[in-house]
Amino acid sequence: MTHGAQTILVTGAKGFIGRNLSAHLRRRENVRLLAYDRDNTEAEFCQWASEADVVFHLAGANRPQNAEEFESDNVAMTESLCRVLADAGREPQIVFSSSIQAEFDNPYGRSKRRAENVLREFAASTGAPVAVFRLKNVFGKWCLPNYNSVVATFCHNVAHDLPIQITDPDRELELVHVDDVVAAFLSQMDQPRRYDEGLVTPDPISSHTVALGDLASRIESFRGIRRSLHLPDFSIRFNQQLYATYLAYVDPSCWEYGLDVKCDDRGNLAELLKSSGSGQIFVSRTRPGVTRGNHYHHVKAEKFLVLSGEGVIRLRHIENPEIHEFRVRGADYRVVDIPPGYTHSITNVGATEMITLFWASEIFDPDRPDTFFLPVDLRAAA
């Protein structure tokens, strides 16, 4: 073990947040991780708590079979943790996952609020730094569907072609991604400790507010990406997080899918991805001796990348005869930019099939194609 390693106890380590947190902690070389969950013994809990430098107290109940479990899992376990630490004379840093429900008068909220008070008293009497995070609606990979996360349920159902139910599509939720929660937890742990610190007020975690109807529409659109090829706006971080979450619920048998391949005597071509903000990507296979292109665009810009085989890319300004020529090979990974106002072509000059990846700055619109035939070689045209 690395010199100066921290011993870190995670309670509820096999839960949704616990699994994500533990995955990050295991990547740290200076961490000895003690992952506690329901299948561990009380003796292990006592021993590990007495050894911990940091405790992430995530264990608890939010949808138990009976209301009594709120008391045993949320309050009594927190009391037990503080008692073990006090008996061992330990004052570790404690990060507690509470809930915004602690602000409300319901069985779950009351139990979380009481657990907070237990930790508040422990911090006041010992000076142990205790950070209480009142988490909002956390979503992300590994969250159980049909349990306590509408995002998990929507993602699971849409991915498995099951219906989703929305009573009030205008109802708004404030959502927090699990990786942002983990980042906040780790940032809190990594802050320098001050003696006699006591209760710590952590920085707020970034969140996104969305209406249920909008949330469902976004997730349902993800299922159609394989047909439309249209990606959501990934400049919005929430869309990135939501799409990644959706993919976590897709069955492995559905990870692979085919593209619509268009074939002719030149070879074939398939579109891969489209984005209203970033254009589109497509790929082609071209037979030896075949030329593609001989056209220009007024606004659309392109990039050509030969992945396999050999080709010659030719460009000519539409107002003069000078030809710019670039010989490219798949082994070289050389990209050629295609500016607007230049008619251009690509010819397979090798002995084998040429595979080319193309990017265009806008999605092809048949009603406004911005593609005009004009030979690059004027002599050949004559």
Residue 65 pLDDT > 90: no
**Residue 322 contacts residue 361 (beta carbons within 8 Å):** no
Band of residue 195 on the pLDDT scale cut at 50, 70, 90: low
**Residues 20, 138: Cα–Cα separation, whole Å:** 12
pLDDT at 92: 95
Please state which CATH number belongs to domain 261-381.
2.60.120.10
Question: Tokens at residue 365, please?
Answer: 């619109």
**Residues 227-275: tens digit of each pLDDT:** 999 999 999 999 999 999 999 999 999 999 999 999 999 999 999 999 9
Phi, psi of 261 (to 5 degrees): -95, 125
Q: CA triplet 358, 362, 366: central angle to 5 degrees?
A: 100
**Residue 328 contacts residue 334 (beta carbons within 8 Å):** yes
**Residues 143-189: tens digit of each pLDDT:** 999 988 999 999 999 999 999 999 999 999 999 999 999 999 999 99
The domain limits of the chain are 6-215, 261-381
pLDDT at 1: 43
Task: Supply the residues annotated as catalytic.
Answer: 108
């991915």: which residue's tokens? 159
Q: Choose the CATH number for 6-215 among 3.40.50.720, 3.30.428.10, 3.40.718.10, 3.40.47.40.
A: 3.40.50.720
């090829």: which residue's tokens? 229
**Residue 67 contacts residue 107 (beta carbons within 8 Å):** yes
- Going from the C-alpha of 76 to that of each of 67, 98, 119, 162, 175, the distances in angstroms are 13, 15, 12, 39, 29
Task: List the beta bridge partners of residue 342.
Answer: 317
Q: What is the pTM of this model?
A: 0.91
Which one, of 181, 166, 259, lies nearest residue 218 by Cα?
166
**Residues 56, 13: Cα–Cα separation, whole Å:** 9
Residues whose CB falls within 8 Å of the CB of residue 341, separated by 6 or more in sequence, listed in order: 296, 297, 298, 317, 318
**Residues 87-143: tens digit of each pLDDT:** 999 999 999 999 999 999 998 899 999 999 999 999 999 999 999 999 999 999 999
